[in-house]
Structures are given as structure tokens and as C-alpha cells.
């Protein structure tokens, strides 16, 4: 354990000492200037007055003036120094308490208590900005920690189900309850595939958010991405009995990694399929909007409550956790879509009139300049 550094005087003491040194320098300077210049100026004015005095009387008057001047200046300096030191001590203590409160709040955050906040000390705009900035930082750390804990808890839950399935089937094979036939192997492979997909998804979204995801952008026709994504999802939609419509126009080109954007549109189409009942319809469209190319995935399905909209792109977030788990969603597809879109310099947003009234997901990507 490294030794603690030796602590010197506190901030208040240092400020008070610095102020005292300034006052001492000012007092000494005033004393010297007054004692040198004051009597000579008084003597000059006394001579100009042509008042009849003997040499002894003149000397006595000058000595009296010098003595009164220095005594008055000395008393005034002492009073001024005392008042200035008192004011300096008061403000130094306030500054010290403000800094101590920040240090104490920082120590609480370091100890894992993220609810610590700093009040505005009322010492001016700089300290108010410091307190506000610190509180913003603390709020973000608290939100990050909350997200981390929820992510770990949800990740553990997502892993528990396929692991339990594998363990149960292996135990059944060992006990002779089941045979290691194709059906059993399919169940085990399905669970391990789900685990592998979960690990790949977490890796992908983490790398995308950190800017470490390999992306190879090139100019592609914007409408081609729509047709490719619709074609890839057509069988899944047909199997559930949901109609998939596409609407495209000459939107020009976008400079993207086609495989990554196929993943984005695929995740949005899968999300819409999960929340659209049999016989429903999902529309995938593309259009040019100023300097952007806009893709939308709109459905007339379950819809989304307002309170869920700000959190849809959080990792493992589900508007209806129990129902989504039954459908097999891990709650990370929209997070991956958001990370990939932002890695391309675009934006993604969700909107819904409310439960039972459908939802619309909108992706905007920078349009590629015309050749």
C-alpha cells in the first residue's frame, strides 16, 4: 500500500495567507510612501503659506504632522487589513466548503453511490457551471450504471434459458429418457445457436458504439437496399401470414456497407413482424428528402406506448418483456440497428400513435453526391 501524500495547508488557509501577504505588501508600501513624501509635501506647503514661525516651531509642526500622518495611516491600515482578512476568510471558507462538497460527492460516486449531487454554492457563474456540469456527469454515470446492471441481469436471463434447455436434454439422454436422435440434436443445436447469436450481437453493438466495427461503405442504389431486404424477409412474412409491401422512388444513391444496412433493415422488418398480427401488413419504403435518404418500416400492429419510445434502442429493452421472450427476441436487435446507422453517419427514430395503432421506424442516411 503506497503511503498517503503529506497534506499541506488547506485551500482556505492558502487563500487567507495569500491575501494577507498582498495586504502586508500594500500596507508597507503605503507606510513607506507616506513617511517619505508626506512630510516633504507638507513642508513645501508650509513654506508657501509664509506663516511666521521660528525654526524650532516649524520643526515641531512638521514632526507633529508626520507623527499624526503615520499614526492615522497605521490605524487605517490595521482596520483595513482586519476587515479585508475577515472578508477573505469568509469567502475562502465558502470556496473551501464548495470544493469539499464536490470532493465528497465524487468520493460517494467512487464508492458506488451515484445519487450524490452538488448544490449551487452561490459564488458566481463559474461555480454554478461547475456544480451543474458535475451533476450532469453524475446523472450520466448513474444512468450508465443502471443500464449496465440491467444489461447483465438480462444477459444472464437470456443465457439461462438455452443453457437450461441443453442441460435438460443432455440429462435426459444420460438417464435414457430421450435418445440422441435428430430431434434432440436439433433442440440442442438451436439453443447453442441462440447463445452464439447472442454473443455475436453483443459484440457487434459494442464495436459499433465504440467505432471499432469494420465497415466498408460504397455507393449503392438506395432503392436496391429495400428490394434486397424485402426479398430476404419474404418467406418469414409468408409463413406468418403478414403482407409485406414496398414503396420506392428514385432516391439516388447512399454510401453504405450494403451488408450492414441489410442487417439494419432486416432487424426492423423482424421487429415489425413480431408485433404485427396474422393478416396484417408492413410497409418498407424509401424516398429522397433533401440531403438525406429516408427509409421507413411502418406497421399497423400493436403500437408502442409513449413511455417506451425513448428506451426502444436501449440494449435488452422490451416494451413487453414476457411476450417478446416467448417470441424469441433478445431485445438487442434495435440496439444493433441504431449503432450501425450512427456508424454510417445517419439517424434512427421510432414513432407510434399509441397501443394498438401501429408504429413507424425511420432511418435517415446521408445521400451520396451524384456522380
- What are the structural domains, with CATH classification, of the chain? 11-113 (no CATH), 144-209 (1.10.287.130), 218-366 (3.30.565.10)
Rounded to whole angstroms, how far apart are CA atoms 71 and 67? 6
Which three three-digit cell numbers place residue 284? 418498407
| Predicted confidence (pLDDT) per residue in 23-77, tens digit | 677 767 766 766 666 666 666 665 666 555 566 766 666 667 667 766 777 777 7
Q: What tens digit of pLDDT does each residue of 214-246 get?
A: 778 899 999 999 999 999 888 889 989 999 999
**Residue 253, number of CB atoms within 10 A of its CB:** 18
Read off the C-alpha cell for 16: 487567507
Higher pLDDT, 257 or 103: 257
Dihedral class, residue 279 (left if φ above 0, else alpha if ψ from -120 to 50, else beta)? left
Give bridge partners of residue 281 from the DSSP assignment.
243
Average the pLDDT over each of 102-106, 160-164, 181-185 and give the range with the smallest value. 102-106
Is residue 156 within 8 Å of residue 138, measured between CB atoms? no
What is residue 64's DSSP assignment?
H
What's the CA gap between 250 and 228, in Å, rounded? Answer: 16
For residue 79, which phi and psi values (nearest 5 degrees)? -65, -40
Nearest 5 degrees, angle CA 33-CA 35-CA 40? 95
**Residue in the block written with cell 457551471:** 129
Cα–Cα dist 154/35, whole Å:
82
Over residues 154-169, the pLDDT tens digits come to: 667 667 778 888 888 8
> What pLDDT is stored for residue 326 in this prediction?
44
Q: What is the pTM of this model?
A: 0.54
Structure confidence at residue 315 (pLDDT) = 67
User: What's the pLDDT score for residue 328?
Assistant: 46
- The percentage of the chain sitting over the pLDDT mark of 70, rounded to a whole number, equals 70
H/E run at residue 349: strand 347-351
> Predicted confidence band at 306 (pLDDT cuts at 50, 70, 90)?
confident
User: What integer pLDDT is reported at residue 365 of this predicted model?
Assistant: 94
Task: Place 348 in a pLDDT band, splitting at 50, 70 and 90.
Answer: very high
- β-pair partners for 361: 297, 350
pLDDT of residue 180: 81
CB neighbour class for 273 (10 Å; exposed up to 12, middle 13-18, buried from 19): buried
Q: How far apart are CA 28 and CA 36, in angstroms?
A: 12
Reduced to 3 states, what is the DSSP secondary structure of residue 284? Answer: strand
Those residues with Cβ within 8 angstroms of residue 191's Cβ, 6 or more apart along the chain or in another chain: 161, 162, 163, 165, 166
| R_g of the chain computed on alpha carbons | 38
Amino acid at each position: 500500500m503506497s503511503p498517503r501524500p503529506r497534506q499541506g495547508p488547506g485551500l482556505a488557509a492558502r487563500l487567507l495567507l495569500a491575501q494577507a501577504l498582498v495586504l502586508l505588501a500594500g500596507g508597507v508600501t503605503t507606510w513607506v510612501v507616506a513617511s517619505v513624501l508626506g512630510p516633504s509635501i507638507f513642508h513645501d506647503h508650509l513654506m508657501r503659506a509664509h506663516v511666521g514661525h521660528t525654526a524650532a516651531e516649524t520643526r515641531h509642526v512638521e514632526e507633529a504632522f508626520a507623527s499624526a500622518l503615520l499614526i492615522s495611516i497605521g490605524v487605517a491600515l490595521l482596520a483595513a487589513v482586519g476587515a479585508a482578512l475577515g472578508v477573505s476568510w469568509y469567502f475562502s471558507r465558502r470556496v473551501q466548503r464548495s470544493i469539499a462538497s464536490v470532493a465528497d460527492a465524487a468520493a460517494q460516486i467512487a464508492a458506488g453511490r451515484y445519487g450524490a449531487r452538488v448544490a449551487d454554492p452561490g459564488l458566481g457563474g463559474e461555480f454554478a457551471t461547475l456544480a451543474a456540469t458535475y451533476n450532469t456527469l453524475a446523472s450520466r454515470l448513474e444512468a450508465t450504471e443502471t443500464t449496465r446492471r440491467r444489461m447483465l441481469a438480462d444477459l444472464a436471463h437470456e443465457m439461462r434459458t438455452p443453457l437450461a434447455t441443453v442441460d435438460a436434454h443432455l440429462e435426459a439422454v444420460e438417464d435414457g429418457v430421450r435418445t440422441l436422435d435428430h430431434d434432440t440434436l436439433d433442440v440442442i443445436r438451436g439453443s447453442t445457436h441462440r447463445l452464439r447469436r447472442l454473443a455475436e450481437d453483443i459484440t457487434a453493438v459494442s464495436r459499433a458504439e465504440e467505432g471499432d466495427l469494420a465497415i466498408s461503405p460504397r455507393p449503392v442504389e438506395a432503392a436496391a437496399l429495400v428490394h434486397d431486404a424485402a426479398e430476404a424477409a419474404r418467406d418469414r412474412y409468408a409463413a406468418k401470414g403478414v403482407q409485406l409491401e414496398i414503396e420506392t422512388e428514385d432516391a439516388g444513391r447512399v454510401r453504405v456497407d450494403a451488408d450492414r444496412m441489410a442487417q439494419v433493415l432486416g432487424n426492423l422488418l423482424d421487429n415489425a413482424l413480431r408485433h404485427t398480427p396474422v393478416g396484417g401488413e408492413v410497409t418498407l419504403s424509401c424516398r429522397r428528402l433533401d440531403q438525406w435518404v429516408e427509409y421507413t418500416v411502418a406497421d399497423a400492429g400493436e403500437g408502442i406506448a409513449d413511455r417506451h419510445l425513448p428506451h426502444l434502442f436501449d440494449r435488452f429493452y422490451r416494451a413487453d418483456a414476457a411476450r417478446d421472450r416467448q417470441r424469441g427476441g433478445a431485445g438487442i436487435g434495435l440496439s444493433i440497428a441504431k449503432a450501425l446507422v450512427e456508424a454510417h453517419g445517419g439517424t434512427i427514430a421510432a414513432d407510434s400513435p399509441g397501443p394498438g395503432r401501429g408504429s413507424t421506424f425511420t432511418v435517415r442516411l446521408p445521400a451520396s453526391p451524384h456522380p
